[in-house]
Amino acid sequence: MRKLRLGLVLALVISLVCCLPALADEGMNLKINEQDIFIPSAYIDNGTTMIPLDIFSKIAGTSEQWIDDNKVAITGNNKTITLTIGSTEAVSGDETLTITQAPVRKDTDVFIPLRFLASEFGFTVNWDQENQKALLDRVQTRDGMTAMELLIKSNQASQAVNTFAMDGTMQISLKAVADGESVLDPAMNMTTYLEGSLQNEPLEAYIKQKVAISGQEPIEGMEDMVVETYMTEDKMYMKAPGQGWMAMDLPFPSDFIKEQQELQSNPIKAAEQMQEMGLVFSFGDDVNIDGKDYYVINAVIDQEKFQDIYQQTLTEVLGAMEPESVEDAAVVEQMNKIFDGADINYFYTVYIDKTNLISSIFDFDCKLNLNINPKEFATDEEAVVEDIPEKVAINMLMKGTFNIKDLDQPFVAPDVSEATEFNPYDPAIESVG
């Protein structure tokens, strides 16, 4: 169970970066407003660049409404384009247009011709023959601010808030196929309900998660699993189902958290980090939710640059820890194997309150595909067992929404006065692990 401590770190780091894997070999690069972004599933067909519709919507800040199984209306900036899968005709208002390549459906994705739609929604589109990439340029502003400038102002406004509460939901759909046969049939669906609060100075954070699983036979003790976590500047406390509070040292150095806080408090450094991570921002149409007006900013993440940040973050966190056993190194090696060659699409939307410039609502969408050879992770004895599959394909869809509320209200910490010291060799912990 020594690897449990490292496992907690890996779980935390992975959750922060949405399980970012190494890159698949397929796909192509685009350059959007001088920012490179890798689209893993994009391809060229008869000279036309085709990309997934959901990724285009995030890049362009458009929304989609399916009229039927094959017809979709794409709306943005007071304009609507209607496309039909398999048809080279598009409709814009009362005008019928001809496009070079018809939209196609592949598995769960719909691919659309990039140049046509990008041009219709205000991009200047060019082609870099030498580097084989599409170049898209468009200037967007809201009240005289670009998306990056607005995010910097929102970041500054957030720094003035010392405490806030949050709630939200996260839905995960998981499918697995082993040697061509479905392992999860039907798919496993998991919904996490989350609530909590955070205080910046002094640092305190409390999160309560309730997990509900459907689509499979009920798992004993996990029908409605509730996990609570409380963190201070030097301690972490966890409360698992059927257990009391357990105390442990932070699985990462406290200086790491302070460095991140200082980074976010510096708008110039925060902007530099966003650029280093390969984030491409675009405005969506402004919206009114529950009587409040919001700016809408979409973000798409470049996998190549974000992968570098992921590796750097993991190295910083684990580098400050003293290795406890060879198992720790083995866990890291296994994590790298699992994510090697994986394919991911990750994007999110931020809703910024126009009255105070606080980023109040976050939507995110993540698609992750893994291909694993379980025998690579088996012991020598296990590897010879015939029933271990040679190839496992895992498809995970994850969507969620988080809300920020109750700004500068008093932080209420849970009562951890009777917490016991975490013991990884406790039989009860062993069963949870």
**Residue 235: pLDDT over 60:** yes
Give SS3 for 94. Answer: coil
Rg of the Cα atoms in the chain: 23
Task: Judge if 44 and 82 occupy the same domain.
Answer: yes
CA angle, 252 as apex, 247 and 256 as ends, to 5°? 130
Selected residue with higher pLDDT from 284 and 376: 284
What CATH code is carried by the domain that includes residue 339?
Answer: 2.50.20.20
CA-wise closest residue to 392 among 176, 72, 205, 154? 176
Task: Judge if 66 and 120 occupy the same domain.
Answer: yes
> Residue 408 falls within a domain, yes or no?
yes
> Residue 28 falls within a domain, yes or no?
no
Mean pLDDT of 98-104: 95
CA–chain centroid gap for 372, Å, is: 21
Ordered strands of the 43-45 beta sheet: 43-45, 48-52, 109-113, 104-106
Give SS3 for 5. Answer: helix
Task: Judge if 256 and 339 occupy the same domain.
Answer: yes
Task: Judge if 129 and 165 occupy the same domain.
Answer: no
> Residue 27 falls within a domain, yes or no?
no
CA distances from 222 to 143, 341, 433 (A): 49, 32, 13
* CA–CA gap between residue 310 and residue 56 (Å, rounded): 24
Q: Do the bridges between strand 420-421 and strand 246-249 make them parallel or antiparallel, or are there none, so unpaired?
A: parallel
Per residue in 34-58, pLDDT (tens digit) is 888 888 789 999 989 999 998 999 8
Contact 376, 338 (CB under 8 A): no
Task: Judge if 241 and 327 occupy the same domain.
Answer: yes
One-character DSSP codes across 72-91: EEEEETTEEEEEETT-SEEE
Confidence at residue 372, expressed as pLDDT on a 0 to 100 scale: 78
One-character DSSP codes across 102-152: --EEETTEEEEEHHHHHHHTT-EEEEETTTTEEEEE----BTTB-HHHHHH
Per residue in 194-207, pLDDT (tens digit) is 999 999 889 899 99
What CATH code is carried by the domain that includes residue 84?
Answer: 3.30.457.10
Q: Give how many domains the chain has, as a whole number.
A: 2
Q: Which of 100, 118, 137 represents a domain boundary (last residue)?
A: 137
Region of poorest pLDDT, from 15-19, 92-96, 280-284, 408-412: 15-19
Q: Phi/psi class of residue 255: alpha, beta or left (left: φ > 0; alpha: ψ in -120 to 50)?
A: alpha
Q: Do the bridges between strand 235-239 and strand 204-214 make them parallel or antiparallel, or are there none, so unpaired?
A: unpaired
> Residue 312 falls within a domain, yes or no?
yes
> Residue 333 falls within a domain, yes or no?
yes
Task: Judge if 93 and 184 occupy the same domain.
Answer: no
Selected residue with higher pLDDT from 82 and 310: 82
Task: Judge if 203 and 65 occupy the same domain.
Answer: no
Give the pair of three-digit tokens for residue 56: 């285009």
Task: Judge if 118 and 220 occupy the same domain.
Answer: no
> Residue 243 falls within a domain, yes or no?
yes
Task: Judge if 128 and 151 occupy the same domain.
Answer: no
* CA–CA gap between residue 187 and residue 394 (Å, rounded): 11
Task: Judge if 133 and 244 occupy the same domain.
Answer: no
Q: Which of 137, 155, 179 represents a domain boundary (last residue)?
A: 137
Q: Which of 75, 107, 137 represents a domain boundary (last residue)?
A: 137
Task: Judge if 151 and 289 occupy the same domain.
Answer: yes
In terms of residue numbers, what domain contains 84? 34-137
Confidence at residue 207, expressed as pLDDT on a 0 to 100 scale: 95
Q: At 169, is the pLDDT very low, low, confident or very high (cuts 50, 70, 90)? A: very high
CA-wise closest residue to 121 among 175, 57, 55, 64? 57
Task: Judge if 79 and 195 occupy the same domain.
Answer: no
